[in-house]
Amino acid sequence: MTSSNAHGPIDVIVLEFPTGSTGSGTANAIQKLVDEGTIHLYDLMVVHKDTDGAIDEIDLRSDAKHDLSDWQEFTGARSGMLSEDDLEAASGILEPDTTAAVVLYENTWAAPFVEAARSEGAEMVASARISAQMIMDALDFLDKASASSKKSK
């Protein structure tokens, strides 16, 4: 990151894993992004929603019910920005009997860009995020439309 007070945008994501999944590949990918300086991890909570709809945070150091050993490296990744209210919000979108990672991170790769823009007096007047799933769906749709168009010619 730069020496100024410039920061990159901050995202919160909720990654839902099906019953039986450990999410180890995801944990390793997050750690790689942190190690490379691409993101700064502020908070990471792993939660489980039971079949009755109750949600509980999983203690990564001592949980024996779930095989989450690859997530233990994130024990203590808590800035305090994620709260119990965020857990409640996550519980409303998770399916029963699933495990999820709630991740709050800064896109540190963008800090030099933010610093350069600020040094020239630029202000962010609009911003939007398009989810990865929406992009994949749109590209699939365009591929199918293109293939259909080629067949009709």
66-124 tens-digit pLDDT: 667 788 889 889 999 998 888 888 889 999 989 899 999 999 999 999 999 999 999 88
**Cβ–Cβ contacts within 10 Å for residue 82, how many?**
20
Q: Are 78 and 46 in contact (CB under 8 A)?
A: no
Cα 28 to Cα 68: distance, rounded to the nearest angstrom: 12
CA nearest 15: which of 25, 5, 7?
25
111-144 tens-digit pLDDT: 999 999 999 999 888 888 888 899 999 999 999 9
Cα 36 to Cα 52: distance, rounded to the nearest angstrom: 40
| pLDDT given for residue 32 in this prediction | 97
For residue 1, pLDDT beyond 50: no
Burial of 90 (0-12, 13-18, 19+ CB in 10 A): buried
**Cβ–Cβ contacts within 10 Å for residue 103, how many?**
22
**Cβ–Cβ contacts within 10 Å for residue 6, how many?**
17
Q: Are 16 and 94 in contact (CB under 8 A)?
A: yes
Cα angle 72-104-51, degrees, rounded to a multiple of 5: 65
| pLDDT given for residue 153 in this prediction | 67
Tokens standing for residue 70: 């690859």
